[in-house]
Amino acid sequence: MDPESQRILDYLTEVEEAAEDVLTTKQQIVDLDTKRNRNREAVNALRDEMSHSEKVMVCFGNMFIKLPKAKTSGMIQKDQEQIDKEINDLRKELKAKVNRLNEIQGKPELRGYNLSPLSTEELKAVSSLFKT
C-alpha cells in the first residue's frame, strides 16, 4: 500500500473511532436516562403504596428482598442522584468528543455548544437590571 493510501486509511480510521466514541457516549446517556425514569416510577409507586404496609418487596438481581419503605425510597433516591451525576458527566464528555470529531474532520467548532445556564445569582442580577 502506498503512503497516500495509508494516510487516507489512517484518517478514516481516526474519524470512525471518534464517531463511534460519540455514539457510544450518546447511547450511555440514553440508557442511564431510561434507568432514571424507572427509578422515578418506583418512587411514585412507593409513594402511592405508603398507606398499605410497612415493607415492600425489592428485586436485587434475581432475588426479592423485603425492605422497609423508607430505606427502599432512600436507596432509590441515592441511586437517582448518582445517575444524574453520571449523565451530567457524560454530557460534558460528549461536548468534548463532538468537538474532537469536528476537529478531525476539519469542520469548525460548533458555536454555542459550550453554553451553560445562568446560575441563580446571575439570574437574580439580570432580572434586577431589567426591573429598574
pLDDT value of residue 107: 85
Grid cell for residue 113: 455548544
Residue 15, domain member (yes or no): yes
Q: Is residue 131 part of a domain?
A: no
What is the pLDDT confidence band of residue 86, given thresholds at 50, 70 and 90? very high
Has residue 73 been placed in a domain?
yes
Q: Which three cell numbers stand for residue 103?
A: 476537529
> Containing domain of residue 73, as a range?
3-110
State the CATH number of the domain containing residue 83: 1.10.287.370
- Looking at per-residue confidence, does 59 or 17 come out higher? 17
Torsions phi, psi for 53 (to 5 deg): -150, 165
Within-domain flag for 68: yes
Residue 106: HSE in the Cβ half-sphere, 13 Å Cα cutoff: 2
CB 39 within 8 A of CB 83: yes
Mean of pLDDT values over 77-95:
93
Q: Give the integer Cα–Cα distance in Å for 126 and 109.
A: 28
- Residues 6 or more apart in contact with residue 94 via CB below 8 angstroms: 22, 25, 26, 29
Is position 48 within any domain?
yes
How much is the pLDDT for 84?
A: 93
Assess whether pLDDT exceeds 70 at residue 44. yes
Q: Is 122 part of a structural domain of the chain? A: no
Residue 123 within any structural domain of the chain:
no
Q: Which of 7-11, 54-58, 82-86 has the lowest mean pLDDT?
A: 54-58
What's the number of domains the chain is made of? 1
**Is residue 119 a part of any domain in this protein?**
no
Whether pTM > 0.85 for this model: the answer is no
